[in-house]
């Protein structure tokens, strides 16, 4: 039987089924949904999609090839995730993260900490072009500082992610910042300059919110707790400014456009070398070997890269800061990503995703309607396909002609793609970005999402600009779409 495209109602069934299962997971599993329940929901939803597709003549081989292709597209992210786990381990035992926390506590006033976290994360992300690397390095350190100051980890993570995704969105070295104009048909720097009109107001509002929060938060016993943390870190680690050479090295090689995988591996190995040089007591403690330092060094570094490692101190809250999970700790997140790619692969190869989104386009009659539809479609793909690249590529291809037909320049589309596809990905727990950042920071997506103000504001800012016809570029200025 020849395959034919499923209708809109059949195409929506797997998505509705997935949403129902994910709702049950939140209700019954709480914060533990990443341990397997969300993965199973995605697998079951993919199975429903495959069954429906089979009724429309789609052979399993075609669906399977779509799944394999989908998983293949996520492999770079999976490799990066593994290496982030290793990097976190060696940076902890080397004293890099403890030193960042130590000096951060010395310098950062609790009142402006959230405000400063946004700015620091933004600067690092602009320099590196990677929100993932930013969150995995300086983000982990800032989270530790915030927890030591007694600030909710969800709020701190929201500030870190807001800054990191601002930088990722505006950096010419970011893959999504290059991808969006390529899909829309404009050039990189036109795209970046045009994004300023929506991105700058969004980050200013975000900074104001965090500044106000800093003055209103009740930080219980902050000063005395900070002194305790500083003392415990001094007692257990060799706190040394030279350790900052490790993150400086990572930032330098990323700026030099070294690919993320070799860059993160090199930084993880360098962290291990610094651990051997600067933290002999930690190395002996982690390895459990005291009489052979060569053997102890090898075991401690390798162990910190692949598995859970912790440093026990006299302060329970500090122990939480000094515990890492290595590559093994990323397996649940990687499992989630693979399950999400299975669902996305079946939905895309069967034509269900295109059917749903194409059903929307025909109702678009205005500029604000077109931009709103783009935003909604990007969010839809972040939720269903679980990948920000798909959320940029597919809507970019779908809407390119529609924007031209509506007399809008391609940078209007590329900006809408970034204002929604790039930044909302981290707000979805089963998206590759949401799952990764939650796994790296050890903070539930549901815990930080309400405080990722930049990511929440950006898509609305894009719609606002279109609604009031602010900085909307047209091919022919005499022809305006209302």
Q: In a 3-state reduction of DSSP, which class is residue 408? A: strand
Position 481 pLDDT exceeds 50: no
Q: What is the 3-state secondary structure (H, E, C) of 164-177?
A: HHHHHHHCCCCHHH
Check whether residue 319 and residue 340 sit in a common domain. no
For residue 480, tell me if it sits in a domain. Answer: no
Residue range 269-285: average pLDDT? Answer: 95
Position 482 pLDDT exceeds 80: no
For residue 477, tell me if it sits in a domain. Answer: no
> Number of folded domains in the chain?
2
Structure confidence at residue 371 (pLDDT): 93
Please list, residue by residue across 418-436, b when 16 or more beta carbons sit within 10 angstroms of its beta carbon and e when fewer do.
bbbbbbbbbbbbbbbbbbb
- Encode pLDDT of 379-416 as tens digits: 988 887 777 877 887 788 778 878 888 889 999 999 99
Secondary element (H or E) of residue 57: none
Q: Which domain holds residue 361?
A: 8-74+331-467
- Separation in Å, CA 203 to CA 72, 124, 132, 287, 461: 34, 15, 19, 45, 11
Place 279 in a pLDDT band, splitting at 50, 70 and 90: very high
CA–CA separation, 225 and 236 (whole Å): 17
Secondary element (H or E) of residue 418: none
Check whether residue 87 and residue 199 sit in a common domain. yes
Structure confidence at residue 1 (pLDDT): 59
CA–CA separation, 169 and 178 (whole Å): 10
- Encode pLDDT of 40-57 as tens digits: 988 999 999 999 999 999
Q: Who wins on pLDDT, 210 or 107?
A: 210
Domain stop point among 302, 324, 346 = 324
Tell me the two tokens of residue 248. 């400086």
Structure confidence at residue 272 (pLDDT): 96
Check whether residue 235 and residue 299 sit in a common domain. yes
CA–CA separation, 158 and 167 (whole Å): 14
Check whether residue 372 and residue 413 sit in a common domain. yes
Check whether residue 217 and residue 366 sit in a common domain. no
CA–CA separation, 113 and 99 (whole Å): 17
- Encode pLDDT of 449-475 as tens digits: 999 999 999 999 999 999 998 888 888
Per mean pLDDT, which of 1-10, 223-232, 281-290 is the most reliable? 281-290
Position 39 pLDDT exceeds 60: yes
Nearest to 396 by CA among 373, 370, 417, 425: 417
Structure confidence at residue 374 (pLDDT): 92
CA–CA separation, 118 and 418 (whole Å): 19
Domain stop point among 294, 324, 354 = 324
For residue 478, tell me if it sits in a domain. Answer: no
pTM of the model as a whole: 0.72
CA–CA separation, 475 and 333 (whole Å): 44
Check whether residue 56 and residue 133 sit in a common domain. no
Secondary element (H or E) of residue 34: none
Q: Who wins on pLDDT, 267 or 387?
A: 267
For residue 476, tell me if it sits in a domain. Answer: no
Structure confidence at residue 416 (pLDDT): 93
Check whether residue 290 and residue 392 sit in a common domain. no
Are 188 and 171 spatial neighbours (Cβ–Cβ below 8 Å)? Answer: no
Position 224 pLDDT exceeds 70: no
Q: In a 3-state reduction of DSSP, which class is residue 428? A: coil
Structure confidence at residue 222 (pLDDT): 53
Residues 6+ positions from 9 with CB-CB distance below 8 Å: none
For residue 1, tell me if it sits in a domain. Answer: no
Calculate the average pLDDT of the chain.
85
Give the phi and the psi of residue 356 in degrees, each rounded to 5. Answer: -65, -45
For residue 229, tell me if it sits in a domain. Answer: yes
Domain stop point among 290, 307, 324 = 324
CA–CA separation, 410 and 404 (whole Å): 7
Secondary element (H or E) of residue 362: none
DSSP-assigned states of every residue in 319-384: HHHTEE-TTGGGHHHHHHHHHHHHHHHHHHHTTHHHHHHHHHHTT--SHHHHHHHHHHHHHHHHHH
Check whether residue 111 and residue 157 sit in a common domain. yes
For residue 3, tell me if it sits in a domain. Answer: no
Check whether residue 50 and residue 103 sit in a common domain. no
In this structure, the chain runs to a length of: 482
Check whether residue 102 and residue 246 sit in a common domain. yes
- Encode pLDDT of 161-220 as tens digits: 999 999 889 887 677 888 788 778 888 888 888 999 999 999 999 999 999 998 887 665
pLDDT cut 70: percent of the chain above it: 94
For residue 298, tell me if it sits in a domain. Answer: yes
Check whether residue 115 and residue 249 sit in a common domain. yes
Residues 6+ positions from 103 with CB-CB distance below 8 Å: 239, 241
- Separation in Å, CA 425 to CA 270, 389, 416: 31, 9, 14
Structure confidence at residue 296 (pLDDT): 95
Check whether residue 437 and residue 361 sit in a common domain. yes
Are 164 and 135 spatial neighbours (Cβ–Cβ below 8 Å)? Answer: yes
Among the ranges given (115-119, 250-254, 279-283), the one the predictor scored with the smallest mean pLDDT: 250-254
């Amino acid at each position: 039987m020849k395959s034919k495209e499923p209708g809109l109602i059949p195409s929506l069934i797997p998505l509705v089924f997935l949403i129902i299962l994910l709702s049950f997971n939140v209700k019954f599993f709480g914060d533990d949904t990443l341990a397997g329940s969300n993965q199973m929901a995605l697998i079951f939803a993919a199975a429903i999609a495959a069954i429906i597709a089979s009724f429309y003549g789609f052979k399993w081989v075609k669906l399977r090839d779509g799944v394999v292709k989908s998983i293949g597209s996520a492999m770079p992210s999976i490799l990066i995730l593994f290496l982030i786990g290793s990097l976190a381990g060696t940076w902890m035992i080397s004293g890099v993260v403890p030193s960042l926390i130590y000096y951060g506590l010395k310098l950062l006033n609790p009142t402006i900490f959230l405000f400063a976290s946004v700015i620091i994360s933004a600067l690092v992300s602009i320099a590196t072009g990677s929100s993932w690397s930013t969150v995995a390095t300086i983000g982990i350190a800032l989270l530790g500082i915030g927890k030591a100051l007694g600030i909710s980890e969800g709020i701190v993570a929201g500030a870190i992610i807001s800054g990191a995704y601002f930088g990722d969105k505006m950096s010419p070295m970011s893959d999504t910042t290059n991808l969006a104009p390529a899909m829309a048909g404009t050039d990189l720097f036109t795209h970046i300059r045009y994004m300023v009109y929506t991105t700058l107001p969004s980050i200013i509002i975000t900074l104001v919110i965090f500044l106000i929060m800093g003055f209103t938060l009740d930080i219980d016993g902050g000063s005395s707790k900070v002194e305790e943390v500083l003392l415990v870190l001094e007692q257990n680690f060799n706190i040394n400014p030279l350790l900052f050479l490790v993150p400086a090295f990572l930032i330098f090689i990323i700026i030099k456009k070294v690919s993320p995988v070799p860059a993160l591996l090199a930084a993880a190995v360098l962290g291990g070398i610094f651990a051997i040089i600067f933290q002999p007591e930690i190395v002996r403690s982690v390895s459990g070997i005291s009489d052979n330092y060569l053997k102890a060094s090898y075991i401690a570094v390798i162990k910190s890269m692949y598995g859970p490692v912790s440093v026990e101190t006299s302060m329970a809250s500090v122990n939480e800061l000094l515990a890492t999970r290595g590559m093994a700790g990323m397996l649940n997140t990687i499992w989630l990503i693979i399950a999400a790619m299975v669902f996305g692969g079946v939905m895309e190869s069967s034509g269900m995703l295109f059917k749903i989104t194409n059903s929307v386009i025909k109702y678009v009659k205005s500029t604000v309607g077109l931009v709103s539809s783009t935003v909604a479609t990007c969010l839809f793909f972040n939720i269903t396909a679980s990948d920000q690249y798909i959320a940029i590529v597919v809507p970019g291809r779908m809407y390119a002609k529609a924007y031209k037909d509506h007399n809008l320049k391609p940078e209007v589309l590329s900006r809408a793609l970034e204002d929604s596809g790039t930044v909302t990905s981290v707000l979805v727990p089963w998206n590759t970005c949401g799952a990764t950042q939650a796994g790296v920071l050890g903070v539930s997506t549901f815990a930080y999402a309400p405080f990722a103000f930049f990511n929440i504001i950006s898509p609305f800012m894009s719609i606002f600009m279109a609604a009031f016809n602010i900085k909307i570029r047209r091919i022919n200025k005499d022809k305006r779409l209302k």
